[in-house]
A = this chain, B = another copy of it.
Amino acid sequence: MELRTLRYFVTVAEELHFGRAAARLHMSQPPLSRAIKQLENDVGAVLLHRSSAGVMLTPAGAALLDEARTLLDQVDRLRVRVAAAAGAATITVGILSDSADRGATRLAAAYRRRHPGVEVRIRETDLTDPTCGLRAGLVDVALTRGPFDETGLTVHELRADPVGAVLRADDPLARRDRLELADLADRRWFQFPDGTDPIWQSYWNGGEPREGPVVRVVQECLQAVLWNGTVGMMPLGHDPPEELAVVPLIDMAPSRVVAAWNEGDANPLIRSLVQIATAAYRD
């Protein structure tokens, strides 16, 4: 008997309907039916009476529902007590300025639920340092984008976004449904300040050294497009800003959304965050 199975049972007992319970559990109905049957074999009693009229709890099922609820409540209490015994915990998360998307939102919600006692400090950073100050020890874990110099860091991919060119809506190329880097070769591009991670810099410049204004945050980059007609770049999937168009660049490698931390840092709060992030970004 495992806790997962008990959670399944509680859901079915609440819904009294396998299909709806499966939906609430984000799974399909057959494995749920199977899990309940295994639970019945495990406890040695029929828990649910299935008939065409519907699903009903047997006396044994009612008893198990009650017990299972208190058991699952106790698991939450357990988490809180362990966290309290571990002492005041803090984790500092670095987030690249344009990475506060839906995945990060879900991550934050799930992480607060899982570790209610942990103080999460957020440090949002501009585009000049994709590691968000990991190496300097300013953050414990970074939610950011690749590619960048990974030496001394452990990097865990969460997603991969195709990349597009940002152009003024009235730009002749803006009507194209896809572009190649060569189409933009004669344009002015944006630049990052000196000292920026060269892999990162080179990636956003399409591998070539470019001429153009220096930017530090996404807004500056977009403004440069609007006012100076430079080429900008951004991951696809976000809504294009007003007056601008984003056209997929077919010969740019996708930009990997990643979690990164200092190699060898065994802080369980970091590992837990990465684990939760993996689930939060999956769907």
Q: Mark A residues whose CB is within 8 Å of B.
A: 1-4, 40-46, 58-60, 62-64, 67-68, 70-71, 74-75, 77-79, 81-87, 89, 114-115, 118, 266, 268-269, 271-272, 275
CB within 8 A of A2: which of B3, B77, B81, B115?
B3
| Cα–Cα, bound, A177→B232 (Å) | 86
16 A-B contacts (beta carbon < 8 Å): A1-B3, A2-B2, A2-B3, A2-B4, A41-B268, A42-B272, A43-B82, A44-B89, A44-B114, A45-B83, A45-B269, A46-B86, A59-B87, A67-B74, A68-B78, A71-B75
* A44 touching B272, Cβ below 8 Å: yes
Contact residues in B for A84 (Cβ distance below 8 Å): 63
Q: Are the C-beta atoms of A81 and B63 separated by less than 8 Å?
A: yes
Q: Which residues of B contact A75 (CB under 8 A)?
A: 1, 71
From B62, B82, B86, B87, A67 is in contact (CB under 8 Å) with B82
Q: State how many angstroms separate the Cβ of A59 from the closest Cβ of chain B.
A: 5
With A74-B71, A78-B71 as contacts: A83 and B43 at CB distance below 8 Å: yes
Q: How far is the CA of A79 from the CA of B44 in the complex (A)?
A: 9
| A128 CB → nearest B CB, Å | 31
In the complex formed, the residue of B with least CB distance to A84 is B63
Question: Is A60's CB under 8 angstroms from B86's CB?
Answer: yes
State the number of copies, please: 2
CA distance A83 to B43 in the complex (A): 7
Residues of B within 8 A of A269 (CB): 44-45
CA distance A268 to B39 in the complex (A): 9
Residues from chain B with Cβ under 8 Å of A63 in the complex: 81-82, 84-86
CA distance A163 to B118 in the complex (A): 64
Nearest to A269 among chain B residues (CB) is: B44
Give the docked Cα–Cα distance between A46 and B266 (Å): 9
Q: Which of chain B's residues have a CB closer than 8 A to the CB of A58?
A: 86
Contacts of A272 in B (CB 8 A): 41-42, 44
Cross-chain contact B71 with A86 (CB below 8 angstroms): no
A268: chain B residues at CB < 8 Å are: 40-41, 43-46
Docked CA distance A266–B40 (Å):
10
**Nearest 3 A/B pairs, CB to CB:** A63-B85, A45-B86, A60-B86
Residues in B with CB closer than 8 Å to A81 are: 63, 67
Which residue of B is nearest A39, CB measured?
Answer: B268
What B residues does A79 contact at CB under 8 A? 43
